[in-house]
């Protein structure tokens, strides 16, 4: 039973066809990867799922609900959270505040309660802070809760983005190139974090072009090339698929034609 | 006591102006805290001032109700114009709100009920010092509470990264409209207080120049905390008076001081983060000494 699925998904920007007839079945509680060379249209898939872009064709459904025309912040509230390829934190806010922003729609009190610091306000804020600290401890950043996000190293910023996304209490977490620009040590740490997240019961849907990273981590892989899905299956099947190898490395005879 | 009476007689108008400017700077701080560069607050002040003055002059409403109406009228306008204009961001929003301000000014200039270019005369002087203190204190308190609430966090998140805020489940459009409208309430209150402390209002007082003045006060003071806008409003109101001894060079020196602040303290006079760092540096220096 898939959690997120797309049928005949297409997207064009003017005359540029970015995605063409993309059918995906993303399972819950597992790590699913969408891989493909740079410019294949992977991030566009995320932007369509999260509602930042509207599909030109086809439909996306999450837990059986059609996502067409639903505002991005409502899609988040349905249980889809994401991170960004070019990390988008709130740099001047503390780590704790960053994560608490993710709990915005789960922190409920009236304006009056906030104005006079009534018990309902204090209780909701306390619960929100406790959960935020718990999430920070999952990614081992709780000791830095009060420093501002722009003081973090690159790897820590990624982990903070994970915690912030988890704060929205999603069922499915979309990670856009989580290990981009990282060295192998940092990659290993992050891979462990992603496994931890899956083991806690979240579905993970990630985009990556680092093949080795994906093959060691994922339960299922789909390959996107020039806006089309060219293969889907378990990592071993993908690794040996000639079309995938061609998409990544090119064809032997083409190489010989080059001067 | 007599000395105080003399002082008050000479400077009460100036002190009133400081308070009203502080309220205006706070109103813009609220809009800026959500990342909205708005030049509409001078017009909102004008709408508040005219609404309040007309209610006093023609309908003889009690002053508290006049003040409430002065805050509500621009809020209604903000709700109506906010929905289309707040889709814009950055300088485009500044231009749209500037255009709104001009439209408002020209409308007031040509309407009969507003007295046209001659403005409204003979507004009773109902504003007392404690009205200003009370409203300023209440506004400061409400904004301080707001900063610590989920709404304040959402405003800051939107200012720092709108797309990320949206992906965190925040209704960006709704929050922007709220910040814009609440800012209009504060600006309208400042206008109502102003109208009842100057006897006379005209469209000239709520135009482009005023919009830029409000922006300058807020930015000069710094928007990292609520102290900044109040400080900026105080300094910019008092500075021309303190420089009176320079006679003809007064405005030039005033301008030079502003340029100096913007060049050397780009985050404003009161930057809580910078002040915290300075404080820590001083402390370690003192404690480091044998």
Domain membership of residue A192 (yes or no) is no
pLDDT at A7: 93
Question: What is the average per-residue pLDDT within A93-97?
Answer: 95
| pLDDT higher than threshold 80 for residue A249 | no
Domain membership of residue B227 (yes or no) is yes
Measure A131 CA to nearest chain B CA, in Å.
15
Domain membership of residue A98 (yes or no) is yes
pLDDT at A257: 44
Please tell me whether residues A93 and A206 are part of one structural domain: no
Is the Cβ of B162 closer than 8 Å to some Cβ of chain A?
Answer: no
Domain membership of residue B106 (yes or no) is yes
pLDDT at A146: 93
pLDDT 10s digits, B18-67? 999 999 999 999 999 999 999 999 999 999 999 999 999 999 999 999 99
Measure B4 CA to nearest chain A CA, in Å.
37
Please give the structure tokens belonging to residue B14. Answer: 């100036």
Please tell me whether residues A159 and A40 are part of one structural domain: no
- The domain that holds A40 is classified in CATH as 3.40.50.300
pLDDT at A1: 64
The residues with which B61 forms a beta bridge, in sequence order, are none
pLDDT at B289: 55
Count of pairs with CB atoms under 8 A, one residue in A, one in B: 86
**Nearest-by-Cβ selection for A73 from B142, B160, B169:** B169
Give contacts of A121 with chain B, Cβ < 8 Å. 149
Please tell me whether residues A2 and A60 are part of one structural domain: yes
Partner-chain contact B167 A81, CB within 8 Å:
yes
Give contacts of B268 with chain A, Cβ < 8 Å. none
Domain membership of residue B276 (yes or no) is no
pLDDT 10s digits, A153-182? 988 999 999 999 999 999 999 999 998 888
Q: Are A173 and A201 in contact (CB under 8 A)?
A: no
**Nearest-by-Cβ selection for A101 from B148, B149, B153:** B153
Residues of chain A above pLDDT 70, percent: 96
- Alpha-carbon distance values, A195 to A32, A60, B93, B282 (Å): 12, 26, 44, 46
Measure B156 CA to nearest chain A CA, in Å.
8
As a whole number of angstroms, the distance between CA A147 and CA B58 comes to 56
Burial class of residue A2 in the structure, from the number of CB atoms within 10 Å of its CB (0-12 exposed, 13-18 middle, 19+ buried): middle
pLDDT at B248: 80
Give contacts of B171 with chain A, Cβ < 8 Å. 71, 73
What ipTM, to 2 d.p.? 0.90
Residues 166-205 of B with CB under 8 A from A: 166-172
Domain membership of residue A162 (yes or no) is yes
Question: What is the average per-residue pLDDT within B245-261?
Answer: 81
Question: What is the average per-residue pLDDT within A126-130?
Answer: 95
Domain membership of residue B54 (yes or no) is yes
pLDDT at A259: 45
Q: What is the DSSP string of chain A?
A: -EEEEEEEEEEEETTEEEEEEEEEEEETTSEEEEE-STTSSHHHHHHHHTTSS--SEEEEEETTEE-TT--HHHHHHHTEEE--TT----TTSBHHHHHHHHTGGG----HHHHHTT-HHHHHHHHHHHHHHHHHHHHTT-GGGTTSBGGGS-HHHHHHHHHHHHHTT--SEEEEESTTTT--HHHHHHHHHHHHHHHHTT-EEEEEE--HHHHHHH-SEEEEEETTEEEEEE-HHHHHT-HHHHHHHH--HHHHHH--
Domain membership of residue A10 (yes or no) is yes
State which residues form the domain around A33: 1-79+171-184+201-259
Question: What is the average per-residue pLDDT within A113-137?
Answer: 94
Give contacts of B167 with chain A, Cβ < 8 Å. 50, 52, 72-73, 76, 81-82, 165
| pLDDT higher than threshold 70 for residue A119 | yes
Domain membership of residue A128 (yes or no) is yes
Partner-chain contact B149 A77, CB within 8 Å:
no
Residues of chain B above pLDDT 90, percent: 64
**Nearest-by-Cβ selection for B153 from A97, A109, A111:** A97
Partner-chain contact A88 B156, CB within 8 Å:
no
Mutate to test the interface with A, among B149, B167, B223, B273 (most CBs of A within 10 A): B167
Question: What is the average per-residue pLDDT within B135-158?
Answer: 95
Domain membership of residue A94 (yes or no) is yes
Is the Cβ of B149 closer than 8 Å to some Cβ of chain A?
Answer: yes
pLDDT at B12: 84
pLDDT at A222: 93
Q: How confident is the model at residue A36 (pLDDT cuts 50, 70, 90)?
A: confident
pLDDT averaged over chain B? 91
Our count of domains for chain B comes to: 1
Mark out the alpha helices in chain B (DSSP H runs): 2-33, 41-54, 63-85, 90-110, 129-147, 150-160, 162-167, 172-198, 208-221, 227-242, 250-264, 272-288
Please tell me whether residues A71 and A12 are part of one structural domain: yes
Our count of domains for chain A comes to: 2
Please tell me whether residues A133 and A143 are part of one structural domain: yes
Please give the structure tokens belonging to residue A209. Answer: 């072009």
Neighbours of A148 (CB within 10 A): 17
A74 vs A258 pLDDT, higher one: A74
Q: How confident is the model at residue A2 (pLDDT cuts 50, 70, 90)?
A: confident
Of A122-131, A249-258, B124-133, B258-267, the poorest mean pLDDT is in A249-258
Domain membership of residue B223 (yes or no) is yes
State which residues form the domain around B153: 10-237
pLDDT at B258: 80
Please tell me whether residues A48 and A175 are part of one structural domain: yes
- Alpha-carbon distance values, A149 to A88, A141, B86, B170 (Å): 10, 11, 28, 20
Minimal-distance CA residue of chain B relative to A161? B164
In terms of average pLDDT, the best of A199-213, B26-40, B113-127, B205-219 is B26-40
Is the Cβ of A39 closer than 8 Å to some Cβ of chain B?
Answer: no
Please tell me whether residues A68 and A102 are part of one structural domain: no
pLDDT at A253: 57
Please tell me whether residues A91 and A46 are part of one structural domain: no
pLDDT 10s digits, A176-209? 999 888 888 888 888 998 999 999 999 999 998 7
Question: What is the average per-residue pLDDT within B137-161?
Answer: 95
Is the Cβ of B165 closer than 8 Å to some Cβ of chain A?
Answer: yes
Measure B171 CA to nearest chain A CA, in Å.
6
Domain membership of residue B228 (yes or no) is yes
| pLDDT higher than threshold 90 for residue A89 | yes
Q: How confident is the model at residue B6 (pLDDT cuts 50, 70, 90)?
A: confident
Please tell me whether residues A91 and A62 are part of one structural domain: no
| pLDDT higher than threshold 70 for residue B227 | yes
Please tell me whether residues A132 and A58 are part of one structural domain: no
């Amino acid at each position: 039973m898939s959690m997120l699925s797309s049928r005949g998904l297409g997207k064009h920007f003017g005359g540029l066809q970015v995605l063409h007839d993309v059918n995906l079945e993303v399972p819950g509680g597992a790590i699913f990867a969408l891989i493909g060379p740079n410019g294949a249209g992977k991030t566009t898939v995320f932007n369509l799922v999260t509602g930042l872009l509207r599909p030109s064709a086809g439909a996306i459904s999450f837990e059986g609900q059609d996502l067409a025309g639903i505002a991005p912040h409502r899609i988040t509230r349905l249980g889809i959270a994401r991170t960004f390829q070019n990390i988008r934190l709130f740099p001047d806010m503390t780590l704790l505040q960053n994560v608490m922003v993710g709990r915005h729609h789960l922190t409920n009190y009236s304006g009056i309660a906030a104005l006079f610091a009534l018990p309902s306000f204090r209780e909701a804020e306390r619960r929100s802070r406790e959960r935020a600290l718990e999430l920070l401890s999952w990614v081992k950043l709780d000791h830095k809760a009060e420093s501002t996000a722009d003081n973090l190293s690159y790897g820590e910023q990624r982990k903070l983005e994970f915690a912030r996304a988890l704060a929205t209490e999603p069922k499915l977490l979309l990670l856009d190139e989580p290990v981009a620009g990282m060295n192998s040590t940092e990659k290993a740490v992050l891979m462990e974090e992603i496994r931890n997240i899956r083991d806690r019961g979240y579905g993970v849907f990630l985009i990556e072009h680092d093949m080795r990273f994906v093959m060691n981590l994922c339960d299922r892989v789909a390959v996107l090339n020039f806006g089309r899905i060219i293969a889907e299956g378990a990592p071993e099947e993908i690794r040996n698929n000639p079309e995938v190898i061609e998409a990544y490395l090119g064809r032997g005879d083409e190489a010989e034609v080059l001067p | 006591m007599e000395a105080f009476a003399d002082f008050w007689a000479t400077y009460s108008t100036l002190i009133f102006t400081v308070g009203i400017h502080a309220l205006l700077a706070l109103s813009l701080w609220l809009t800026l805290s959500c990342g909205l560069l708005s030049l509409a607050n001078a017009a909102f002040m004008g709408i508040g001032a005219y609404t309040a003055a007309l209610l006093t002059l023609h309908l003889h409403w009690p002053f508290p109700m006049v003040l409430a109406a002065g805050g509500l009228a621009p809020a209604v306008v903000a709700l109506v114009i906010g929905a289309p204009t707040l889709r814009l961001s950055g300088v485009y929003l500044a231009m749209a709100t500037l255009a709104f301000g001009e439209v408002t000014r020209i409308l007031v200039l040509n309407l009969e009920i507003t007295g046209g270019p001659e403005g409204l005369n003979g507004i009773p002087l109902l504003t007392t010092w404690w009205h200003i203190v009370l409203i300023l204190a209440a506004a400061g308190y409400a904004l301080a509470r707001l900063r610590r609430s989920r709404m304040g966090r959402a405003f800051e998140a939107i200012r720092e990264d709108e797309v990320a805020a949206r992906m965190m489940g925040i209704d960006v459009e709704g929050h922007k409209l709220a910040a814009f409208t609440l800012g209009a309430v504060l600006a309208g209150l400042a206008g109502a207080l102003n109208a009842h402390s100057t006897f006379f209002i005209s469209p000239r007082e709520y135009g482009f120049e005023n919009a830029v003045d409000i922006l300058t006060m807020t930015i000069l003071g710094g928007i990292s905390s609520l102290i900044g806008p109040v400080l900026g409003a105080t300094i910019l109101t008092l500075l021309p008076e303190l420089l009176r001894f320079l006679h003809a060079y007064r405005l030039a020196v005033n301008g030079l001081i502003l340029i100096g602040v913007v060049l050397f303290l780009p985050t404003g006079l009161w930057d809580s983060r910078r002040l915290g760092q300075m404080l820590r540096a001083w402390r370690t220096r003192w404690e480091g000494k044998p």
